[in-house]
Structure 1
Amino acid sequence: MGSPSAPPARLGAFFSFFLFFLLVFLAVPWGVDGGYNVASVAGSKNRLKARLDFAGGTAPELGPDVERLSLTASLETDSRLHVRITDADHPRWEVPQDVIPRPTPELSLDAPRPGGRVLSTATSDLTFAIHTSPSFRFTVSRRSTGDVLFDTTPDLVFKDRYLELTSSLPADRASLYGLGEHTKRTFRLQRNDTFTLWNSDIAAGNVDLNLYGSHPFYLDVRSAPPVGSRRGNGAGAAHGVLLLNSNGMDVIYGGSYVTYKVIGGVLDFYFFAGPSPLAVVDQYTQLIGRPSPMPYWSFGFHQCRYGYKNVADLEGVVAGYAKARIPLEVMWTDIDYMDAFKDFTLDPVNFPADRLRPFVDRLHRNGQKYVVILDPGINVNTTYGTFIRATKQDIFIKWNGSNYLGVVWPGNVYFPDFLNPRAAEFWAREIAAFRRTIPVDGLWVDMNEISNFVDPPLLNALDDPPYRINNSGVRRPINNKTVPASAVHYGGVAEYNAHNLYGFLEARATHAALLRDTGRRPFVLSRSTFVGSGRYTAHWTGDNAATWDDLRYSINTMLNFGLFGIPMIGADICGFGGNTTEELCSRWIQLGAFYPFSRDHSAIGTVRRELYLWESVTRSARKALGLHYRLLPYIYTLMYEAHTTGAPIARPLFFSYPGDVETYGIDRQFLLGRGVLVSPVLEPGATTVTAYFPAGRWFSLYYYSLAVATKTGKRVTLPAPADTVNVHVAGGNILPLQQPALTSWRVRQSVFHLLVALGDDGTAAGDLFLDDGESPEMVGARSKWSQIKFSGATENGGGVVRVRSHVVHDSYAPSRTLVIGKVVLMGLPSPAPPKGFAVYVNGVQVDANTVAGAAAGSPKNGALGVAHVGGLSLAVGQEFDLKVVMTY
């Protein structure tokens, strides 16, 4: 039976009292459970310092709170803001300066802060502000628009082994990307997801778990702010946020907030103003270090398998690729080549030096390369030279008073401590000695999370901190299948703090060793990575599975590592674990041919999947890799761009079209550079693919025909034959191409073609970077390089097209002998073939082999003309002005 209704008069009085109480409640600065109060603020023009005092009352089960904190905020550049919060009275672990060299905050700022608690300059678009009610919090805003980029809640927690901070987000406007490494179903972060950062040997085929690397960085792209907001109401403004911390953490993204739960270190935030996505990555890599230049050959196709039986097996694979006329740049060998899985040894039966060395020499004579794997664990074996030398140098990680004993492939092992300078020297000498026997061209460092086949005991409080991060998705102890957190590194550094740095440190040591021994540009592939690893290494997505899901997910991981400053990234083509199928392998090479790092790799005991084993896969490989090898000059130029500006090689669509909100959720397509769009088939049985095309003209790179012309962006269903991947170039781009061959060395000797894809405005532009592909420096006082910029434009209503080159720099001598033999003009205003051509080079008419193509397009797309201007001999390293005059 229901309650009787209240009389109207009494109801009105109740609501009046309730409203009064609510207004009083909101007006009073009520305290929160926990947090800090601002005790003082001082500063100078570009810096601000505050002292924070603990307000009491936060989660005693996680340990006592730090009573006094020091906050420093500094505008280090016009586009970078640094905010650091640490214990005011005691030093704490921080990422070492030699890992990420960076400005040291100025702490001796005792004068009262002019302007109070706000840090802002006329030249920076970032504004920092301290707020005091109900207790301390801070905001970071964009000065030009007033948009709040980071807005912390008052409940800051700062304990010895637990830090927590939350920032609110505009859920309806913010699109976040990053926070790796995880295999994710989407590239854009999904709300109510937890991202655990603790480097672990967990197969990449597992979604949503912490994997091999830790990158506490995200990119936030905002859609248009509400009508009436202050200035800048367009979509696409981006900014970046880095928490520079190597300790384990959970980052919870709730859509309207992001929460950091960290088990040590300090809160060391960097904010990057953008406002374009490319600008954010430029600013980010300016801090953490630019990506290392990769050797030219590394952009070719690589073949590997865990389970090659002997040298004859390797020889058969190389012969199989040659017979099938599929490009093969690099042969790899997994741990099979070792003697009982010991580093720097050879299996005396199956991979003896007197068989392996001639094989490698033959590869080199054919312009091919050889790469092998190394694991960090050194077998505890008194007859093993590497172990003996390492023991004499005393370079192993310590635990409980002695070297920590783990178990990996060779059995009992000790792990080199790469925080110890002697370990890097030891590693370099072992590599140099090994290369005297087998002159490998690159090194693959695996298992360096560190992976351990046994679980160490929980010896002390470091091994089992009061807050358990979501390790392995089930909050396993951080000691699970790795070195104990209580182990000790050089200088007394606990593994608890340095764990996530190990792969970075090993890759750095390996990079330095190869550089010293060869004098050439190193190629290192590392499974475990950290912030800044791109300065030393490439990366692959780890142990994926031969599934259609993993095929799709590989795009997300690839795009993430572009954000992280590691542009040389790819997944194991056809899948590592499990048995692939012919159709899956065929579609995978169509995608994998356009990974920046393109390697087929599979696990022992699975079906073989070299690309020549199925005829359909062979056709796909020839076609996709043929286009990839033609694009090598363009892709290598993107490596130069990555090295100098941090720009990813493989990019999400919104990097080129940040104002198009439809691109924010696209992760089934990607761009190479700013204008080459790859739209792969990602489902079994598909004969079409639905692709999104942003506004503009899009031409097929296979057929040189107009595929799509759109004013606003649209989705188009394209035919996808079994042997073909859809690849398009956006109007407005000029691509330098060379001729396909089976190795990059042969490609580099061939004639150039320029593909000029005119945009809606009748213009196009492009770049070409050339060097020897192996000098340690791409650009520098001792390097020889050339950079050429191309431009194209129509004149006289489209009856004339001019293509010009401008030589920015020219110290690479072969650029003066390499020639452009053909220029292809796409997007001519008239669809009807011209009746005649006149071709002029630098004002002088020349005889050219000029052919007009059929109308490039269809009536529904809007037909445009195409012309092939051949028979040219334009030296790449000399400026030219090519004018093509057409009569209709």
Structure 2
Amino acid sequence: MAIGLPSTDHFVLLTILICLLVHHCSAVYDVESTAESGKLMSAQLKLVGGSADFGPDVKSLTLTASLETDSRLRVRITDADHRRWEVPQDVIPRPAPGPQPKDVLLDSPGNPSMPSNSTMSSASSDLTFTIHASPFRFTVSRRSTGDTLFDTSANLVFKDRYLEVTSTLPADRASLYGLGEQKKETFRLQHNDTFTLWNGDVTWSDQPDLNLYGSHPFYMDVRSGGAAHGVLLLNSNGMDILYGGSYVTYKVIGGVLDFYFFAGPSPLDVVDQYTQLIGRPAPMPYWSFGFHQSRYGYKNVADLDGVVAGYAKARIPMEAIWSDIDYMDGYQDFTLDPVNYPSKQLRPFVDRLHNNGQKYVVTVHPAIKRQAAAHEDLFLKRNGANLVGEAWPGEVYFLDFMSPRSTEYWARKISEFRRTIPVDGLWCDINEPSNFKQWQPLNPLDDPPYRINNSGFHLPINYRTVPVSTLHYNGVSEYDAHNLFGLLQAKATHAGLLRDTARRPFVLSRSTFVGSGRYAAHWTGNNVARWDELAHSINTILNFGLFGIPMMGADICGFNGNTTQELCSRWIQLGAFYPFARAHAEKTTLRRELYVWEATARSARKALGMRYRLLPYMYTLMYEAHTTGAPIARPLFFSYPQDADTYGVDRQFLLGRGVLVSPVLEPGATTVDAYFPAGRWFSLYDYSLAYTMKVGKRVTLPAPADLANAHLAGGNILLLQHAELTTSAARQSEFHLLVALAENGTASGELFLDDGEPPEMGAVGGNWTLVRFSCDREESKGMVTTKVSSHVVQNSYAPSRAQVIGKVVFMGLQSAPKSFTIYVNNVELKAARTKSRTSGVFSVSGLSLAIGQKFEIKLVMSH
């Protein structure tokens, strides 16, 4: 016989179960008082039961909950009596947490309430916050549906260097994504996944489930039916996060509990709301969307020259060539090897690149050779003196990018170097920061009471980095600020380039944190030339789209290990669709430039040819990312959130909302198993209607040896340009307008244009053009009219008045017409060249429609 338990007893039993699962169950707090003022609620919490594990418990806590916007709720818990470390406001600018409880009470028209459950909501917000008094816990729910989004257990642990909180989750209805940086075998989180967030220079980065170069304590939860929300714990200290399917547990070694909840309800809404808080992604220059070639081990300037010539001879696009530490004199930043990279050879080489519309990028590191470091106040300190570590130059000091003097020094060095070699971008590498010296603990901070699972073996947090007892500017410890280091260097590098060039900076950073996308692109790090690494790159790229870093890629053909012709060919077929497309390899590996194998060169010409044709679309996606946070590469559920079968798809992805990429990820494959959501899907290569799906379905696609499958969803309008060897040449060509009709005959799209390098993208008063396109269909008396219109939102970029659409392709027409008439701006067009196919593709060429001027095209057909 089953005995029904009250809901409170159900909760207690669930709490006990979760505590047992996460191996810690001790501290409990009660609510002493609460107060509410408008969209702000506060509470005082008092410890009623704890333990000595990991140190004494904090006895009194303050909770502040605030509806900062209609779609964003903040819940902050901290020590009521002592100030604690938090991510500084100048690192991630954000609203203040609000007045403390006594201030709220003074401002509040009512009196402080006695301990009881208290709820805060707003008619304009879908988020509801509730405090449960004894024992304390809190819940966040969706007002419109009653769905609980976050529900903490009564086990709240708050000690000086150990914080723990657990939330229950509906395992049967929640799909989680995010949390990183780790190499994951699936994009959707799996039950019993664990995540350690501690930025590290990981030598075995090909292993899954280990903490890598960045820390992003943010996840997106997509519930059955498609409603999504986001959760951020804004904390820069090291932590372990355990996802058990029915719960998520945070174990943090410092700081405060500062949660942000984002209401969504669509996935795009969530990233919009998230990046509104942490900062919109930096606009990337147009040229950065070209193909980049790099290698650690280019011996000299002649080697670089040979690579550039090799790409030109093979007729493979190459936008930029990069130099790793090979260019340096003694591995010191902003120096030149006098034998292999003297300025008298390197400067003419870079000038030739620029004359050909190509770019040059070099790496920089945060460690400065000890003998070259003259300024004592620029560096990290330990025991009152500059910390001496080991890195590529030998004994080094580490720049402290929290110090204004250090960032000024960095900007000056960038400017001085660019007077010698006018590099076009900077690559911030090993900036976790990496340190080769091993340290013995000299300070309690070096060995915290709870040891996070660093590098998968619970290694000391000082492993391959600077000691956490090191001090930054204003006495900030590395213990607290470690995960911010790469973000701060990227910020300083972005500012230095911007000041020196007055153009849009390009910065690539290996180490990242929440908000790094405001300054830098990222790549997956030291991958290996293996098929599983090829597949896993998709998961990481999709993750960083969630994190607000859309300019993301992986080392094409692999960094470590010797690749093969087949693997390299398949990798460029995929990599050509990465937002950031760069090939990079380790010096001891076989050369793998895309022209080395003819079969790979053939794949590269086709794949990069498609990429360069798509440049207007990809650059417009960059504008969308910069203004709304939307990822460039997206999981399928972003466009089809109500289709639960898309939630687990991670071997395909979308560019924007419409281009579906289905790559080969296994050796010897002659077919690809691909998922197509409901709707029409057209081949991006011959424009034919490939599939019409009433419901989503898996399809077996042929997999030619030299081509990746790419399809365009019906309902989209794309603008393409001609494929050329550089982005500057491609953007001089005419546009082709692709109109992929949905079943109801509608479609839409947009185009953003500027000169590719102004510091801001789409700034008020700036020189840019934005055009929106729409298509609809009308049927009357046996005639079908398909009308494409342009709406010029802004037209201040002068070349857009000269750039023209020379061809329009309609895809998905009902059938071949008996007769047709074409009108442009209501004038019949008699001289245009047309082509009609029974497959429903109809093209009109010989046009000259200025992008910056409104136009209307009507295709009138009789059937």
Relative to the length of structure 1, the TM-score reads 0.93
1:283 equivalenced with 2:283 (yes/no) = no
1:578 counterpart residue number: 561
1:860 counterpart residue number: none
| CA deviation vs aligned residue, 1:262-292 (integer Å, no higher than 9, x gap) | 0000000000000000000000000000000
1:307 equivalenced with 2:282 (yes/no) = no
2:790 counterpart residue number: 805
2:800 counterpart residue number: 815
- Matched residue of 2:49: which SS? coil
Q: How far is the alpha carbon of 1:852 from its aligned partner?
A: 3.4
Match of 1:377 among 367, 370, 382: 367
Gaps of 5+ in 2: 17-24
Q: How far is the alpha carbon of 1:404 from its aligned partner?
A: 0.7
Contact 1:137 1:153 in 2 (8 A): yes
1:547 counterpart residue number: 530
* Code of the aligned partner of 2:233: L
* Code of the aligned partner of 1:73: A
Contact 1:205 1:545 in 2 (8 A): yes
> Structure 1 residues 25 and 248, CA, compared in 2 at 3 Å: closer, same or farther?
closer
- Matched residue of 1:64: which SS? coil
* Code of the aligned partner of 1:178: G
- Matched residue of 1:435: which SS? helix
1:342 equivalenced with 2:332 (yes/no) = yes
2:37 counterpart residue number: 44
- Matched residue of 1:434: which SS? helix
- Matched residue of 2:214: which SS? coil
Match of 2:104 among 91, 109, 112: 109
> Structure 1 residues 119 and 835, CA, compared in 2 at 3 Å: closer, same or farther?
same
1:531 equivalenced with 2:514 (yes/no) = yes
Q: How far is the alpha carbon of 1:56 from its aligned partner?
A: 1.8
2:316 counterpart residue number: 326
Q: How far is the alpha carbon of 1:400 from its aligned partner?
A: 1.8
* Code of the aligned partner of 2:42: K
Identical aligned residues as a percent: 69
1:219 equivalenced with 2:194 (yes/no) = no
CA distance in 2 between partners of 1:426 and 1:440 (Å): 18
Q: How far is the alpha carbon of 1:26 from its aligned partner?
A: 4.4
- Matched residue of 2:378: which SS? coil
Match of 1:264 among 223, 245, 254: 254
2:386 counterpart residue number: 403
- Matched residue of 1:62: which SS? coil
Q: 5 Å matches for 1:387-402? A: 387-388=373-374, 390-391=375-376, 394-402=377-385
Q: How far is the alpha carbon of 1:851 from its aligned partner?
A: 3.2
* Code of the aligned partner of 2:540: T
Q: How far is the alpha carbon of 1:328 from its aligned partner?
A: 0.5
CA distance in 1 between partners of 2:65 and 2:484 (Å): 26
Match of 1:87 among 79, 83, 96: 79
CA distance in 2 between partners of 1:655 and 1:310 (Å): 45
Q: How far is the alpha carbon of 1:780 from its aligned partner?
A: 1.8
> Structure 1 residues 876 and 401, CA, compared in 2 at 3 Å: closer, same or farther?
same
| CA deviation vs aligned residue, 1:36-87 (integer Å, no higher than 9, x gap) | 00000012010000000001223x1300000000000000000000000000
CA distance in 2 between partners of 1:767 and 1:206 (Å): 41
2:89 counterpart residue number: 97
> Structure 1 residues 679 and 848, CA, compared in 2 at 3 Å: closer, same or farther?
farther
Contact 1:155 1:165 in 2 (8 A): yes
Q: 5 Å matches for 1:135-146? A: 135-146=135-146
Q: 5 Å matches for 1:309-708? A: 309-381=299-371, 384=372, 387-388=373-374, 390-391=375-376, 394-708=377-691
1:759 counterpart residue number: 742
> Structure 1 residues 123 and 362, CA, compared in 2 at 3 Å: closer, same or farther?
same
2:193 counterpart residue number: 193
- Matched residue of 1:871: which SS? strand
| CA deviation vs aligned residue, 1:102-125 (integer Å, no higher than 9, x gap) | 111222211446896111010000
CA distance in 1 between partners of 2:341 and 2:280 (Å): 38
Contact 1:399 1:486 in 2 (8 A): yes
1:771 equivalenced with 2:771 (yes/no) = no
- Matched residue of 1:413: which SS? strand
Contact 1:48 1:113 in 2 (8 A): no
CA distance in 2 between partners of 1:459 and 1:421 (Å): 28
Match of 1:827 among 806, 809, 812: 812
1:742 counterpart residue number: 725
CA distance in 1 between partners of 2:625 and 2:139 (Å): 31
Contact 2:236 2:480 in 1 (8 A): yes
Q: How far is the alpha carbon of 1:24 from its aligned partner?
A: 13
- Matched residue of 2:793: which SS? strand
Q: How far is the alpha carbon of 1:799 from its aligned partner?
A: 2.4
CA distance in 1 between partners of 2:435 and 2:658 (Å): 43
Q: How far is the alpha carbon of 1:19 from its aligned partner?
A: 6.7
Contact 2:117 2:133 in 1 (8 A): no
CA distance in 2 between partners of 1:568 and 1:179 (Å): 18
Q: How far is the alpha carbon of 1:492 from its aligned partner?
A: 0.5
Contact 1:848 1:870 in 2 (8 A): no
Contact 1:53 1:67 in 2 (8 A): yes
Q: 5 Å matches for 1:4-23? A: none
Q: How far is the alpha carbon of 1:855 from its aligned partner?
A: 3.0
Moved more, 788-797 or 212-221: 788-797
> Structure 1 residues 317 and 217, CA, compared in 2 at 3 Å: closer, same or farther?
same
CA distance in 2 between partners of 1:206 and 1:33 (Å): 34
Contact 1:850 1:867 in 2 (8 A): no
Contact 1:739 1:750 in 2 (8 A): yes
CA distance in 2 between partners of 1:466 and 1:460 (Å): 12
- Matched residue of 2:569: which SS? helix
CA distance in 2 between partners of 1:325 and 1:181 (Å): 37
CA distance in 1 between partners of 2:120 and 2:825 (Å): 55
Contact 1:468 1:477 in 2 (8 A): yes
Contact 1:222 1:237 in 2 (8 A): yes
CA distance in 1 between partners of 2:841 and 2:777 (Å): 13
1:230 counterpart residue number: none
* Code of the aligned partner of 2:853: Q
Gaps of 5+ in 1: 1-14, 224-234, 857-864
Q: How far is the alpha carbon of 1:193 from its aligned partner?
A: 1.3
CA distance in 2 between partners of 1:777 and 1:27 (Å): 54
> Structure 1 residues 33 and 308, CA, compared in 2 at 3 Å: closer, same or farther?
closer
> Structure 1 residues 19 and 147, CA, compared in 2 at 3 Å: closer, same or farther?
closer
Contact 2:117 2:130 in 1 (8 A): no
Q: How far is the alpha carbon of 1:793 from its aligned partner?
A: 1.6
> Structure 1 residues 29 and 205, CA, compared in 2 at 3 Å: closer, same or farther?
closer
Contact 1:799 1:887 in 2 (8 A): yes
CA distance in 2 between partners of 1:49 and 1:23 (Å): 29
1:882 counterpart residue number: 857
CA distance in 1 between partners of 2:678 and 2:336 (Å): 56
> Structure 1 residues 886 and 26, CA, compared in 2 at 3 Å: closer, same or farther?
closer
- Matched residue of 2:78: which SS? strand
CA distance in 2 between partners of 1:25 and 1:480 (Å): 45
CA distance in 2 between partners of 1:774 and 1:727 (Å): 29
* Code of the aligned partner of 2:274: Y
CA distance in 2 between partners of 1:167 and 1:155 (Å): 10
